[in-house]
């Protein structure tokens, strides 16, 4: 994408602020627009989709955290119940030689073990969902950070597609392209 040169917009384009829906708005030439409005239609739709995916990932991660907290509370209660069963068996007369063989102890211990297992499962799920949310938030944030650097609306690139050479990665290609663009701009000025 290339930004259309528009110095009149440049002074206002970096003054972004979130609106009530959480989308960042910018002031350009007397009107407010969201960052996606700086992009061609297809790219704007993709950015909006990325935002929705980020928000959905956040909701899933928060839901997993809430479920985990519920299970933590249940496990605490189950551990207290196991402690009470053990205390009751310790005070029993005649004395109980092997309290772990008693059905009430086995039931309480099985409940604690099930909840510990569920916590492990939820921890793994929460970790996966948080990573997904963090990646999506980072991607959207980086896109919007880039859009804040534009002098005006972006236009679709009409040149040749970039080719990745053997042994070259995308990040290196982007950096070399940026260096080429900077060199061309320097020659123009």
Q: Kindly report, residue by residue over 81-124, the tens digit of the pLDDT.
A: 999 999 999 898 888 889 999 999 999 999 999 999 999 999 99
SS3 state at 21: coil
Residue 157 has pLDDT above 90, yes or no: no
141, 105: one domain: yes
Which one has a higher pLDDT value, 139 or 19?
139
Query: Do 101 and 70 sit in the same domain of this protein?
Result: yes
- Name the residue among 161, 143, 153 with its Cα closest to residue 41: 153
Are both 174 and 99 inside the same structural domain? no
Angle between helices 41-91 and 103-149 (to 10 degrees): 160
Question: Domain for residue 27, yes or no?
Answer: no
Q: What is the mean pLDDT of residues 165-181?
A: 84
Q: What is the pLDDT of residue 28?
A: 45
Query: Are 105 and 188 part of one and the same domain?
Result: no
User: Do 57 and 143 belong to one domain?
Assistant: yes
Which segments within the chain are labelled E, that is strand? 2-3, 17-18, 24-28, 31-34, 154-155
Asked if residue 168 and residue 146 are part of one domain, the reply reads: no
Which residue shows structure tokens 């004395």?
A: 95
* Residue 3 scores a pLDDT above 50: no
* Range(s) of the domain holding residue 144: 41-151
Inside any domain, residue 1: no
CA distances from 31 to 26, 41, 151 (A): 8, 18, 15
Tell me, what's the pLDDT at 51? 93
114 and 167 in a single domain? The answer is: no
Residue 144 within a domain: yes
Please report where in the chains the tokens 């970790």 appear, as a residue.
127
pLDDT, residue 16, reads 43
73 in a domain, yes or no?
yes
- Split at pLDDT 50, 70, 90, the class of 20 is very low
Predicted TM-score of the model (pTM): 0.62
Q: Which region among 8-17, 35-44, 54-63, 97-106 has the lowest average model confidence (pLDDT)?
A: 8-17
Q: How many domains does the chain have?
A: 2
Domain membership of residue 136 (yes or no) is yes
159 vs 6: CA distance, rounded Å: 21
Residue 21 within any structural domain of the chain: no
Q: Judge if 109 and 182 occupy the same domain.
A: no
The residue that leads in pLDDT, 90 or 33, is: 90
Instruction: Give yes or no: residues 88 and 177 share one domain.
Output: no
Examine the domain organization and report whether 172 and 118 are in the same domain: no
Percent of the residues in the chain that have a pLDDT greater than 70, as a whole number = 82
Percent of all residues in the chain with a pLDDT value above 90, rounded to a whole number: 52
Within-domain flag for 54: yes
Cα→Cα distances 44→57, 69, 155, Å: 20, 38, 11
Residues 123 and 170 in one domain: no
Structural domain includes residue 121: yes
Helices of type H across 92-169: 103-149
Does 112 lie in the same domain as 57? yes
**1 closest CA partner among 158, 175, 140:** 158
């Amino acid at each position: 994408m290339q930004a259309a040169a528009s110095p009149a917009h440049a002074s206002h384009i970096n003054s972004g602020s979130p609106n009530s829906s959480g989308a960042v708005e910018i002031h350009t030439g007397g009107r407010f627009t969201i960052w996606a409005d700086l992009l061609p239609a297809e790219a704007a739709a993709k950015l909006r989709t990325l935002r929705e995916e980020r928000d959905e990932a956040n909701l899933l991660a928060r839901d997993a955290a809430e479920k985990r907290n519920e299970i933590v509370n249940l496990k605490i209660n189950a551990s207290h119940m196991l402690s009470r069963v053990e205390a009751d068996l310790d005070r029993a007369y005649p004395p109980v030689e092997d309290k772990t063989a008693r059905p009430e102890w086995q039931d309480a211990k099985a409940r604690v073990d099930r909840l510990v297992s569920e916590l492990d499962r939820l921890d793994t799920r929460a970790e996966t969902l948080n990573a997904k949310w963090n990646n999506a938030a980072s991607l959207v944030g980086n896109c919007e950070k880039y859009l804040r650097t534009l002098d005006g609306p972006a236009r679709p690139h009409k040149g040749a597609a970039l080719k990745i050479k053997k042994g070259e990665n995308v990040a290196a290609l982007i950096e070399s392209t940026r260096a080429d663009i900077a060199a061309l701009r320097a020659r123009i000025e």
